[in-house]
Chains A and B, each alone.
Chain A
């Protein structure tokens, strides 16, 4: 089964440390999304890429967050320095840029805890 793969599944770190989350989209999908899920805010769109180019990262705190797609098989979300309020589950999702289905395929998420 084709699936979106995210690593790590769980990460506990201390405030001030750098955190990097990785995502491997489904082969052939050229659109990648990063979402953050918290109890208070629900699912927030942080950024999305199409054909590896960032189209919108307006949902991301620019001072500490950065998202990149160094190649078509890898998307990264980095937080530096991390803060306790960054504790959340971070989801990566991928899709084809076509109108056939519109569906996003999600990874299992990375649960981040910042102490």
Chain B
């Protein structure tokens, strides 16, 4: 089964600074999707950013960007100009077909 690993249980960043969350995954497939989801205290799972594996260009959504290294099976999330509202659990996810797996999550704290 595909596994997703987030090695940082907790991260902290100063408001307006930049933070990078790490994610690695294991797969033998070449065509798949990768995602970062955010889960604030409201517990709603919110999509932050997606990356199709066949695209070499790294995805970007406003202050959020990824560093996708397909050969290394690495998919990190960079949050620039961190805001207090970015504080949440962040989950990395892998999807191939109808199977989607999540990492254990990284709790991000934003300090004012």
Contacts and interface: CB of A to CB of B under 8 A. Distances in A.
Q: A and B, one complex?
A: yes
Interface of A: 31, 33, 35, 42-43, 45, 48, 50, 55-56, 89, 91, 93, 97, 101-104, 106, 108-109, 111
B102 interface: yes
A102 B43 contact: no
A91 B103 CA distance: 16
A13 to B, nearest CB: 19
A42 B100 contact: no
The prevalent SS among residues of B at the interface is strand
A33 B104 contact: no
Contact of B50 (A31, A42, A101): A101
Interface stretch (B11-19, B20-28, B71-79, B91-99): B91-99
B45 A91 contact: yes
A50 B52 contact: no
Given A33-B100, A106-B44, 6 more contacts: A35-B102, A55-B98, A102-B50, A103-B50, A104-B35, A108-B43
A72 to B, nearest CB: 16
Contacts of A91: 45
Contacts of A109: 43-44
16 contacts: A33-B100, A35-B102, A43-B91, A45-B101, A48-B99, A56-B98, A89-B43, A97-B98, A101-B33, A102-B52, A103-B35, A103-B47, A108-B42, A108-B43, A109-B43, A109-B44
